Structure 1
Amino acid sequence: MVSIRPVTEVTESLTDAYRVLIPQLSSSSNPPTGEALQRIIESDSAQILIAEDENGEILGTMTLIIFQIPTGIRAWIEDVVVDSSARGKGIGKKLNLAALELAKQAGAKTVDLTSRPARQEANQLYRSIGFAERETNVYRFSFE
């Protein structure tokens, strides 16, 4: 059985999990350090959610950001990744549903996320949960 919970402390198993999971998400990003994870945990606007099995093994993770802007409370989902060995078992869906519930409880009007078109299974999951593709452009300014 897989359970979803917010992370409240940085542990060796958490940093080890990110060393395995981040390369599966992005070949251009390094896994976060324990210090970086601690800053996220201490943030007022961000939460890390993990999916773990009955033995405490972390099978997936995501970050939920909830923030206030002049037009209301919004939420953003980032860095959703489920270990390749655990995909297709509903873990991504459980993570997303947990994030949606937390965002709803916080009073968010909307929850946004982005997903590359090549991630067909992920995009299918998001649509099945109720996310709708928006007619919008996403712009990025890079300092690197």
Structure 2
Amino acid sequence: MTDSDTDSGNVIGATIEVATTVDDELVAAFESLIPQLSSSSPPPSRELLADLVDGADTVVFLARLDGAIVGSLTLAFYRIPTGIKAWIEDVVVDNAARGHGVGRMLNEAALDVARQRGAKNVSLTSRPSRESANRLYQRIGFQRRETNLYRFDL
């Protein structure tokens, strides 16, 4: 995403859909997209993609432009004693499609599904170096939280 992401957020010809099947096109799309997101994580295998697509607690969103997959977002749900929460992970838009509202469309679709499923909130993290993505999240309505985020690597 770049500074030219617009508040209107719609790209002519861009569509958002939920992945329902794992085929060669989806595997190839993730093989192209994941390296643009992370240099330390390999693309998911066909089996892992199937687990995500078929999982009751995950929704994989795809952005298409001119029929080609140009972005993805994974929405994960989890239940805790105080309700249902959701988490947005691995948002990635192909370099060639950035700056045209595709990321906004993916996020808005995820927020709509989270509302429909009764989530009380949706969280995400974004590295500070991803300045344009952070601006986009704030424009959509995400609020930065003052918290200590801890992680234990296994």
Q: Is TM (by shorter chain) over 0.5?
A: yes
Q: Give CA deviations for 1:52-102 in whole Å, capped at 9, x if unaligned.
A: 123x20010010012221011101000000000000010000000000000
1:32 maps to amino acid: P
From 110, 129, 144, the equivalent of 1:133 is: 144
| Most deviating of 9-18 and 78-87 | 9-18
2:8 corresponding residue in structure 1: none
From 102, 105, 109, the equivalent of 1:91 is: 102
Equivalent positions of 1:94-109 (< 5 A) are 94-109=105-120
Query: Greater relative contact order: 1 or 2 (C-alpha under 8 angstroms, separation 6 or more)?
Result: 2
Give 1:42 deviation, angstroms. Answer: 1.6
1:33 is the counterpart of 2:45: yes
Counterpart CA distance in 2 for 1:36 and 1:108 is 25
- How many aligned positions are there? 142
1:63 counterpart SS class: strand
State the 4+ residue runs in structure 1 displaced beyond 4 angstroms. none
1:9 is the counterpart of 2:13: no
* Uncovered stretches (5+) of structure 1, i.e. residues with no partner: none
Aligned-pair identity (%): 52
1:70 corresponding residue in structure 2: 81
Counterpart CA distance in 2 for 1:16 and 1:100 is 26
Counterpart CA distance in 2 for 1:11 and 1:21 is 16
Counterpart CA distance in 2 for 1:6 and 1:135 is 32
1:51 is the counterpart of 2:63: yes
TM-score (norm 1): 0.96
1:118 maps to amino acid: S
* Uncovered stretches (5+) of structure 2, i.e. residues with no partner: 1-12
1:22 corresponding residue in structure 2: 34
1:9 counterpart SS class: coil
1:88 maps to amino acid: G
